[in-house]
């Protein structure tokens, strides 16, 4: 890698793209140049980067020469089209879409969980689903200590996971209802204000949603454990920022709630917030704007021999997207894995 370190943020005008720029600046990522890319209609606009403003350039297939790391948050179709060209140009892509997550050529990485997987990258690294990320951060130390056999997770996901249009719709619907107006429904199949939708993404042939199967399949890949049993139910709730999860695990060996709290208190990226007697437990309002994954309500499941329940909350835009991607980039630098080997550069095109 040259002394000059050029980073591109693709999809820089979106909510996650802007958060990625903010995270790069806040964490003092050692880039000598940061280039924001977006669609042609956004080219020429300005995006904030610390005290500066950066001019957005048009994302095209031939713009990656001289770029070392390209962080993508431009949507699945854009990642499918442009990420292979970025990898061929010799930079490393960290992609936030679902496009490359289950591709066997692409590591699926949560830095607190499986950073060693980065060594096998061929130019594209996948950022996991936001709900999977926070669950993995909390469960990895437990899995290492007593081996998790089965996971049952129910999620309560904020509208920001759908994007700015969903945030605006929730706000608009609340205003309309308080003014005794019929709420407009455009983003979701039904009204989201004062409601819960037990559907995120489309339904598949097995009657699970695509979001639910993402959690199942990504967990197996990240843990490198095809035998771990995972089942998920994912719901959308009228919260702006912060995904919450009710997680039940069954382990091979016994771990008490006290042992679990002590273990997670020392785990990277985790903040234990758990004192039921004082009504202390994590909520989305605690996680919004924070980097940590919060864990509380840790208690024994006495219906099985080795079971625990817990409540996991994180900011889906930060740890669930922007922060994780930037942490991956930081880990690439730390491990000297930024430049792609010449023989691997054409892998995703040819």
Q: Which helix H or strand E contains 33, and what residues bound it?
A: strand 33-38
d(CA 19, CA 157): 18
Domains, the chain, in order of start with CATH, read: 6-128+322-344 (3.40.50.720), 131-316 (3.30.360.10)
Per-residue pLDDT tens digits of the chain, which is 350 residues long: 447 999 999 999 998 999 999 999 999 999 999 999 999 999 999 999 999 999 999 999 999 999 999 999 988 999 999 999 999 999 999 999 999 999 999 999 999 999 999 999 999 999 999 999 999 999 999 999 999 999 999 999 999 999 999 999 999 999 999 999 999 999 999 999 999 999 999 999 999 999 999 999 999 999 999 999 999 999 999 999 999 999 999 999 999 999 999 999 999 999 999 999 999 999 999 999 999 999 999 999 999 999 999 999 999 999 999 999 999 999 999 999 997 665 555 578 76
Q: What are phi and psi of 345, to 5 degrees?
A: -70, -25
Residue 273: the pLDDT is 97
289 burial type by CB count under 10 A (0-12 exposed, 13-18 middle, 19+ buried): exposed
CA-only gyration radius of the chain, Å: 20
Structure tokens belonging to residue 129: 């689903």
SS3 state at 281: coil
Q: What is the pLDDT of residue 1?
A: 44
Token representation of residue 342: 């010449």
Q: Which residues does the annotation mark as catalytic?
A: 130, 243
Other beta carbons within 10 angstroms of residue 309's beta carbon come to: 16
Q: Which two tokens stand for residue 205?
A: 């042939």
Q: What is the pLDDT of residue 344?
A: 57
Q: CA-CA distance, 307 to 318, in Å (whole number)?
A: 30
CA atoms within 13 A on the CB side of 1: 21
Nearest-angstrom CA–CA distance, 310 and 250: 12
How far is Cα 127 from Cα 278, in angstroms, rounded to an integer?
36
Task: Please state the pTM of the whole predicted model.
Answer: 0.95
- Residue 346: what pLDDT? 59
């Amino acid at each position: 890698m040259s002394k000059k370190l050029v980073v591109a943020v693709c999809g820089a005008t979106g909510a996650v793209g802007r958060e990625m720029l903010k995270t790069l600046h806040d964490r003092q990522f050692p880039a000598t140049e940061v280039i924001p890319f977006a669609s042609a209609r956004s080219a020429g606009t300005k995006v904030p980067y610390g005290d500066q403003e950066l001019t957005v350039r048009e994302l095209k297939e031939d713009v990656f020469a001289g770029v070392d790391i390209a962080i993508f948050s431009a949507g699945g179709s854009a990642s499918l089209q442009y990420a292979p060209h970025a990898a061929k140009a010799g930079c490393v892509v960290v992609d936030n879409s679902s496009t490359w997550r289950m591709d066997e050529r692409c590591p699926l990485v949560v830095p607190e969980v499986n950073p060693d997987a980065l060594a096998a990258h061929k130019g594209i690294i996948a950022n996991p689903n936001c709900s999977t990320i926070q669950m993995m951060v909390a469960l990895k130390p437990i899995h290492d200590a007593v081996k998790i056999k089965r996971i049952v997770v129910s999620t309560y996901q904020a509208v920001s996971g759908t994007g700015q249009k969903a945030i605006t719709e929730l706000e608009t619907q609340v205003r309309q209802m308080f003014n005794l107006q019929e709420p407009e429904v455009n983003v979701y199949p039904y009204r989201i204000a004062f409601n819960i939708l037990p559907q995120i993404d489309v339904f598949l042939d097995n009657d699970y949603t695509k979001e639910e199967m993402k959690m199942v399949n990504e967990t197996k890949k990240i843990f490198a454990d095809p035998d771990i049993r995972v089942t998920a139910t994912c719901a959308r709730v009228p919260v702006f920022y912060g995904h919450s999860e009710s997680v039940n695990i069954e382990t091979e060996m016994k771990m008490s709630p006290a042992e679990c709290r002590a273990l997670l208190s020392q785990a990277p990226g985790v903040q234990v917030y758990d004192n039921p007697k004082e009504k202390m437990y994590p909520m989305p309002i605690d996680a919004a704007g924070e980097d940590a994954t919060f864990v509380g309500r840790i208690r024994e499941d006495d219906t099985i021999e080795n079971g625990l329940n817990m409540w996991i909350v994180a900011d889906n835009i930060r740890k669930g997207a922007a922060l994780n991607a930037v942490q991956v980039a930081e880990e690439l630098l730390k491990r000297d894995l930024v430049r792609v080997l010449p023989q691997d550069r054409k892998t995703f095109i040819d």
